Amino acid sequence: MLDSLLRTNPLLARVATNPKYELQIIYTQINRDAQNRPTFTPHTYHLNPQQYFNPASLVKLPVVALSLEKLNDLNIPGVTRRTIMATGTAYRCQTPVLFAAPADSDRTATVGNYIKRMLLVSDNVAYNRLYEFLGQRPLNERLAQLGHPNVRITRRFAPCDTIANRHTNPISFHTPQGDTIYKESAKYNPTPYLSPLGRVLKGRAYQAGRRIIPEPYDFTAANHLPLANITALLQSIIFPESVPATQRLRLTTSDLAFLRRYLHATPHESGFQPCTSARYFDAYKKYLYYGRNPEISRQSALRIYNIVGMSHGYLADVAYFADTLHQSEFLLSAVLYVNQDGIINDGAYEYDSIGLPFLAQLGRQIRQYEAQRLRRYRPNLTEFFAPEPIR
């Protein structure tokens, strides 16, 4: 079914039928019963967990979810997603965030504000702070407990080597007056995490500084997050009761509402001041359907809860669509590789000419199909369009 949808649309077929783009897709149909309970039917195209792709910012979704879970597990009075967090240094390649009183609450260093930056505009520095808060080993061990033993989140988004990424910073939480409520010492993972695929080499060459190194780039110690795993993580946030109890995050109702708000909100409608400048347009990180086109405004009848990735020629979007215009919903995840010259890290990728137009057309094609697909019961999507005073 998915194969025919791709091949009958010329704009999609030229990518879908060309193996150089390394396309992988998961399209999940959602059907509701009379009590509005969902069931999920996935359809895949060239899904291959043995085919490595660089997940880039897709790793931010598990990091934000596990950061909220860690706060719950700590269960320390006064330590919440709104509490001021300071970050120290204890090893090379670490940078500090000193305590600062909250003169501007949107810019205060807190877990909640870091999450907003990551989900609204894919902020890399905010990711680094929460990667450090979790620690490399606890982060990966918890993902394994949740049913994702082959996922590897091992790197900051910073030029740190493999050993430096195994060291994470000391963390402390403070009252507005500067009193310390809780602190953790620096953490170290003594055992390196490597790709479960073995040695991973991509491209014909890579750029380092101004030099082109004529050999493949080594992703063996890089982040590794297969498309099925990140799709399952998003589903567990949007529909927590749809996954086995052992794979559910320890998140409160407030946590889930908070994540959902910033997964779908555009930078401007969020009202979060650091993300409302003109450079952050409505389609800034909504590749599926909008294609990151700054001229397009969000449709009020369509809410897309998603996480994206763009790096080294890989382009990915993992999303849940709720559509009140057509009373339909679905999950859609896709990744493709657009690097015609085969050189990693040279910045010469076909994101705008091939990748983003493909993802936009794919989302539109599936939405159109879903609008016409017969259902016994139409979904009640009220919970996804209710007022959201979550901060």
Q: Is residue 271 part of a domain?
A: yes
Report if residue 324 sits inside a domain.
yes
Distances (CA, A) of 191 to 11, 162, 163, 166, 324: 46, 11, 10, 8, 49
For residue 390, being part of any structural domain is answered with no
Q: Does 294 reside within a domain?
A: yes
Tens-binned pLDDT, residue by residue, of the chain (391 aa): 898 999 999 999 999 999 999 999 999 999 999 999 999 999 999 999 999 999 999 999 999 999 999 999 999 999 999 999 999 999 999 999 999 888 789 999 999 999 999 999 999 999 999 999 999 999 999 999 999 999 999 999 999 999 999 999 999 999 999 999 999 999 999 999 999 999 999 999 999 999 999 999 999 999 999 999 999 999 999 999 999 999 999 999 999 999 999 999 999 999 999 999 889 999 999 999 999 989 888 888 999 999 999 999 999 999 999 999 999 999 999 999 999 999 999 999 999 999 999 999 999 999 999 999 999 999 999 999 987 765 6
Domain containing 145 equals: 2-385
CATH of the domain at 305: 3.40.710.10
Judge whether 94 lies within some domain. yes
Whole-prediction pTM: 0.97
**Inside any domain, residue 391:** no
For residues 111 and 81, the answer to whether their CB atoms sit within 8 Å is: yes
Strand partners, 211: 208
- Helix, strand, coil tally for the chain in percent (to 5): 35, 20, 45
Asked whether residue 292 is assigned to any structural domain, the reply reads yes
Total number of domains constituting the chain:
1
The amino acid at residue 206 is Y
- Token pair listed for 373: 């697909």
> Would residue 335 count as lying in a domain?
yes
Give the pLDDT confidence score for residue 389 in this predicted structure: 62
Q: Give the residue from 391, 373, 383, 385 showing the smallest Cα distance to 31.
A: 373
User: What is the per-residue pLDDT for 101?
Assistant: 82
